[in-house]
Structure 1
Amino acid sequence: MSTPASRHHKRPRGEGQWALGYREPLNKNEENKKNDDGLNVRQRIIDIYSKRGFDSIDPADLRGRMRWYGLYTQRKPGIDGGKTAVLAPEELDDRYFMLRVRIDGGQLDVRQLRAIADVSNLYGRGTADLTDRQNIQLHWVEIESVPDIWERLESVGLSTTEACGDTPRVILGCPLAGIDAEETIDATEQIREINERFIGNPEFSNLPRKFKSALSGCVAHCTVHEINDVAFVGVVNEDGEQGYDLWVGGGLSTNPMLGRRLGVFVSPERAADVFGGVIGIFRDYGYRRLRHRARLKFLVGDWGVERFREVLETEYLKEPLPDGPAPQEPRGGRRDHVGVFPQKDGNFYVGFAPKVGRLDGDRLHLIADLAERYGSDRIRTTTEQKMVILDVTPDRVDALVAELEANDLQVNPSTFRRHTMACTGIEYCKLAIVETKATAMQLIDELERRLPTFEEPLTINVNGCPNSCARIQVADIGLKGQLVVDENGEQVEGFQIHLGGSLGVSSGFGRKVRGLKTTAAALPDYVERVVTHYDTQKKDGESFADWVQRADEADLK
């Protein structure tokens, strides 16, 4: 039995940090990763599981290592949101998978888009969702199909490697990299080098949790650098050299934190080494005891930027980085690249808005056909669940726009169509509590009908659970799915409401109003009401987020 004195002299509890000697796994996830690298599951899928079927899959692979290749079991149909946190994983699992195709920098060519479309139609019941991290997700995938899917994707240079899991996931990049006359730097080559060096590399395939990254010189700051684990933001230093400002420790989920500047200037040729240093710190010093504290943001929060920079320079890079300037403020208003705009080569790019990122295999084929017909081999995905066709000659722009819009791919969408995002939701996701995609689509339709003249930028982000895949804390109107009680005392699908979040000039997580919730059925009425209050009360040039900070609480309800 310990005495009071001995209790005071206990060693501090370890966080499972490898660099401090804590190598023994402290939870089931860490034990699974120590038992076998997630990258090794690929051969078992090819040799065993695809041949013997779903029932042959080792549970540690099924709910763990298969994520290293972009595979999650999807939610069994018919299980309501009240059971999400109650049922065991094997009761929630369907015998089908979500498959995430990673699209680094959002860069696709026509052959690649057609390959994804073919896989969608052949093996995914036609499903295809654009994510807010530039990937495309397919559903209804059977384990027997996975080797052929990989063969089809890899034959055109695509991959699902480390699209999920405790790994360096897709690298965000501006869809206009290399073509925007205003961009600070073209990050294409740095994204390629980082991908080559670190993705699928066993040295970095066992991280404490997922690792999200972005590299961009976009003047609209479209890669949302403020909420990535590591972000390289284009700057020009006092000597006129192009390079990057380094940010670390951003992330949302249930404990949101904004990234922080290290205050260093990273030249393009050093970007991959610096990326390796940051991810190395995360691997070696990241917390591995509790999953909910295992993101890089918690380490940065505890260390502070000065210590993080010192460890990066002395232990990992072995030399100092020069001080550097902060990025310019983002170009006004919208960060999504929707519309028709000139490229620096005299051609045009055409950005368009599928509804909340929902597409299908046939529509992907159509987009590839249109791009090719109008002279382009380059298609891009965005961080707002949108797409862009590059390299359209001036004389073909109008015809392309007309064909896109005739197929409900809006180039000139309403504010509500343009700025509403939704995560996967209860339709497929085992973590979700409510439906999201259909709810968001119905909301767009209702708002277009009720508020046809409203044109201000207004982001509405719809999330099926508290984990913030759809970035609810940084939306003008963020909707966090939960079960709520309606006017009849019945428990129904609904949302907790976050208001006035933003990224950019005044990044922040908005204003919380106690008890502010709505049922899914009453959501259009609520949004119409609060948007109308803003529209009638706003000052010249005042954003929704700024208005929320000064609005009477009654006008927010």
Structure 2
Amino acid sequence: MTQAIETQADPHTAPQTRRRPSAKPHGQWNVDGKAPLNHNEEFKQRDNGLNVRERIETIYAVKGFDSIPSDDLHGRFRWWGLYTQRKPGIDGGKTATLEPHELEDRYFMLRVRIDGGALTTEQLRVIGGISVEFARGTADVTDRQNIQLHWIDVTDVPEIWRRLESVGLSTTEACGDVPRVILGSPVAGIAKDEIIDPTPVIREISARFIGDPELANLPRKFKSAITGHPSQDVVHEINDISLVGVVHPELGPGYDLWVGGGLSTSARLAERLGAFVTEERAADVWHAVVRIFRDYGYRRLRNKARLKYLMNDWGPEKFRAVLQDEYLGYELPDGPAPSRAGSPGDHVGVHEQNDGNFYIGAAPVVGRVNGTVLTGLADLLERNGSRRLRTTPHQKIVALDVAPGKVDAVVEGLEALGLSSAPSLFRRSTIACTGLEFCKLAIVDTKDTAERTVAGLEESLADISARLPEQLSLHINGCPNSCARIQTADIGLKGQLLPDADGGQTPGFQVHLGGGLASSDREEAGLGRTVRGLKVTADGLVGYVDRVVRRYDEQHAEGETFAEWAHRADEEFLK
């Protein structure tokens, strides 16, 4: 696979060219020393974020929300998967004008960490029970393979932790300036065409390093992804580190190492280091890359405190040299790049496993489920002899180990729960972030908007649906931060407020077109194109997507993808 981003001319995408370092210190520990240069660095040095758990259990859960000081509430709580959620009734126009304490409610979002997306039905049932009893039934499957709950009262957190940990789950470092959840192939260990099973590496990293105080003060969040499946199903181009399954001509199956990806307001795709990593060395290489970020990452400005900025300055050659010389103490062999992805990476549908059983990928609407659905799913799978499932980086759920004679029953049961294994094009390909309902950064609603849009497009495009591609991604984000990966979607929508006819404001979106990551229908990854002045209101969203998709259907050349068409089409056809 090659990188397309170097040829991007769009001024709205971040350049891949190297920039000269700033004359001011970046706050790099190994260069500038450890003196904190902002308040975030001060509170992290003053007390490790992992230490807040004891205070939550012994003080805050006893005395309640008002007993929580700001640095714990707005900082260290994240190390245990807790963010205050948005107070109901505050419109998006006030997001940038109100102080955090004015936006936040007295309740929390709680993120359950699920490395590799791997769950048992027992674990799923516990999450479902927590949702019903403590979270007003809420539950979202995220595009980081976690499950998020809302309406959590701090007084209930110790009991929630007790229940999660009784089945081997946790919220440890689900948020914060730490190594976040490790994305893993949802079909690890079961796919017939798997190159290498990443499960042992994910488990080793999690056991050795998650919760390690030495890695609990990074410049900012650190995102990881590991896959051995040829569909490259972990969005590896946008993570801080990714290990992608390849076969070395002499050394056999292992991993190709990618570093420095990330989206948000300065999108940048990861770069290959050209290094081959064996399974035995993979956890140590991961550990070394995290420590490079800890020691050399930029800490002075928080909006520059991601690994992608260091990679932008160093380049892959220097990064690999520092990795080998300062942290590993040995050279990694050169290795091959991954081949073009061989199939869609969302794993939707019915597929045979390597043992003769089947896995079934099913789509909720933009990841939104609830506690009753989760409990019902656990019951359905157990009733049909399955006790394992996976979440995916595409807000989907994959049921594993379904016997041939049980497939029809599971498919029907999934449909009854609102989880379709044969979804429409846009139900399959649409994802959305949390949005205005709960997120303090959001400007517009996303989940409900996405659900209405999917339903509207299913109806309006029914006459041409048979001619459309198997996947055509629509990603909806409530703010510029790109939690829903808008720059890498066929159609990406960035939430903002637009002027209305009465001199006020209405929810809407800036449009990105033609982005995408590894897939079976595109040669390379690339960021989407923006067209000057192309914005659409939330109410006009169905009409706009219908219009641009129909133009693609009418104008594209044989075999031309939507992304390819969108990048070459005249602007008039994209509006």
Report how far residue 240 of structure 1 moved: 5.2
Report how far residue 225 of structure 1 moved: 0.4
Distance in 2 (CA, whole Å) between partners of 1:488 and 1:496 is: 20
Instruction: State the match for 2:10 in structure 1.
Output: none
TM-score by length of 1: 0.97
Which aligned segments of 4 or more residues in structure 1 are displaced greater than 3 angstroms?
A: none
Is 1:68–2:79 an aligned residue pair? yes
Q: Which amino acid aligns with 2:397?
A: M
Q: Identify which range, 507-516 or 473-482, moves more after superposition.
A: 507-516
1:507 aligns with one of 525, 533, 547: 525
2:540 aligns with one of 519, 522, 546: 522
1:8-19 alignment to 2 at 5 Å? 12-19=23-30
Is 1:448–2:482 an aligned residue pair? no
Q: Which amino acid aligns with 1:353?
A: A
Report how far residue 63 of structure 1 moved: 0.3
Q: Is the 8 A contact 1:18 1:285 kept in 2?
A: yes
Is 1:460–2:471 an aligned residue pair? no
Report how far residue 403 of structure 1 moved: 1.6
Instruction: State the match for 1:7 in structure 2.
Output: none
Q: Tell me how many residue pairs correspond in the alignment.
A: 546
> Cα deviations across residues 49-78 of structure 1 (Å, max 9, x unaligned)?
000000000110000000000000000111
Distance in 1 (CA, whole Å) between partners of 2:398 and 2:251 is: 31
Instruction: State the match for 2:435 in structure 1.
Output: 425
Is 1:221–2:239 an aligned residue pair? no
1:398-413 alignment to 2 at 5 Å? 398-413=408-423
Q: Is the 8 A contact 1:495 1:519 kept in 2?
A: yes
Q: Identify which range, 206-215 or 453-462, moves more after superposition.
A: 453-462
1:235-246 alignment to 2 at 5 Å? 235-239=246-250, 241-246=252-257
Is 1:531–2:549 an aligned residue pair? yes
Distance in 1 (CA, whole Å) between partners of 2:501 and 2:557 is: 35
Report how far residue 407 of structure 1 moved: 2.7
Instruction: State the match for 2:50 in structure 1.
Output: 39
Is 1:394–2:404 an aligned residue pair? yes
Q: Is the 8 A contact 1:214 1:232 kept in 2?
A: yes
Q: Is the 8 A contact 2:377 2:417 kept in 1?
A: no
Q: Is the 8 A contact 1:75 1:94 kept in 2?
A: yes
Unaligned runs of 5+ in 2: 1-21
Percent sequence identity over matched residues? 62
Q: Identify which range, 403-412 or 254-263, moves more after superposition.
A: 403-412
Instruction: State the match for 1:5 in structure 2.
Output: none
Instruction: State the match for 1:478 in structure 2.
Output: 492
Is 1:554–2:572 an aligned residue pair? yes
Instruction: State the match for 2:5 in structure 1.
Output: none
Q: Which amino acid aligns with 1:389?
A: A
Instruction: State the match for 1:56 in structure 2.
Output: 67
Distance in 1 (CA, whole Å) between partners of 2:560 and 2:232 is: 20
Distance in 2 (CA, whole Å) between partners of 1:490 and 1:97 is: 32
Q: Is the 8 A contact 2:26 2:32 kept in 1?
A: no
Distance in 1 (CA, whole Å) between partners of 2:565 and 2:384 is: 43
> Cα deviations across residues 429-450 of structure 1 (Å, max 9, x unaligned)?
0000000000000000000011
1:383 aligns with one of 393, 401, 404: 393
Distance in 2 (CA, whole Å) between partners of 1:345 and 1:167 is: 37
Q: Which amino acid aligns with 1:400?
A: V
> Cα deviations across residues 425-479 of structure 1 (Å, max 9, x unaligned)?
0100000000000000000000001111424121000000000000000000000
Secondary structure of the corresponding residue to residue 533 of structure 2: coil
Report how far residue 22 of structure 1 moved: 2.3
Distance in 2 (CA, whole Å) between partners of 1:160 and 1:92 is: 24
> Cα deviations across residues 287-334 of structure 1 (Å, max 9, x unaligned)?
0000010000000000011110010001100111111111111114x2
Report how far residue 378 of structure 1 moved: 0.5
Report how far residue 12 of structure 1 moved: 3.2
> Cα deviations across residues 175-209 of structure 1 (Å, max 9, x unaligned)?
10000011110000000000111110001000000
1:138 aligns with one of 132, 140, 149: 149
Report how far residue 374 of structure 1 moved: 1.2
2:559 aligns with one of 524, 541, 544: 541
Is 1:323–2:334 an aligned residue pair? yes
Q: Is the 8 A contact 1:459 1:477 kept in 2?
A: yes
Q: Which amino acid aligns with 1:276?
A: H
Q: Is the 8 A contact 1:494 1:519 kept in 2?
A: yes
1:77-156 alignment to 2 at 5 Å? 77-156=88-167
> Cα deviations across residues 20-60 of structure 1 (Å, max 9, x unaligned)?
14211111111110111000000000000000000000110
Distance in 2 (CA, whole Å) between partners of 1:201 and 1:85 is: 35
Q: Which amino acid aligns with 1:439?
A: T
Distance in 2 (CA, whole Å) between partners of 1:32 and 1:82 is: 30
Q: Is the 8 A contact 1:486 1:519 kept in 2?
A: no
Q: Which amino acid aligns with 2:555?
A: Q
Q: Which amino acid aligns with 1:145?
A: D
Distance in 2 (CA, whole Å) between partners of 1:421 and 1:104 is: 20
Report how far residue 239 of structure 1 moved: 1.4
Secondary structure of the corresponding residue to residue 356 of structure 1: coil
Is 1:436–2:446 an aligned residue pair? yes
> How well do the aligned residues superpose, as a CA RMSD in angstroms?
0.9
Q: Which amino acid aligns with 1:537?
A: Q
Instruction: State the match for 1:343 in structure 2.
Output: 353
Distance in 2 (CA, whole Å) between partners of 1:213 and 1:16 is: 23
Distance in 2 (CA, whole Å) between partners of 1:550 and 1:488 is: 36
Q: Is the 8 A contact 2:512 2:529 kept in 1?
A: yes
Is 1:281–2:299 an aligned residue pair? no
2:508 aligns with one of 488, 491, 494: 494
Q: Is the 8 A contact 2:25 2:32 kept in 1?
A: no
Q: Identify which range, 500-509 or 459-468, moves more after superposition.
A: 500-509
Q: Which amino acid aligns with 1:152?
A: R
Instruction: State the match for 2:183 in structure 1.
Output: 172
Q: Is the 8 A contact 2:359 2:402 kept in 1?
A: yes
Unaligned runs of 5+ in 1: 1-10
Q: Which amino acid aligns with 2:456?
A: E
Report how far residue 373 of structure 1 moved: 1.0
Distance in 2 (CA, whole Å) between partners of 1:162 and 1:50 is: 19
Secondary structure of the corresponding residue to residue 252 of structure 1: coil
Distance in 1 (CA, whole Å) between partners of 2:197 and 2:356 is: 18
Q: Is the 8 A contact 2:145 2:392 kept in 1?
A: yes
TM-score by length of 2: 0.94
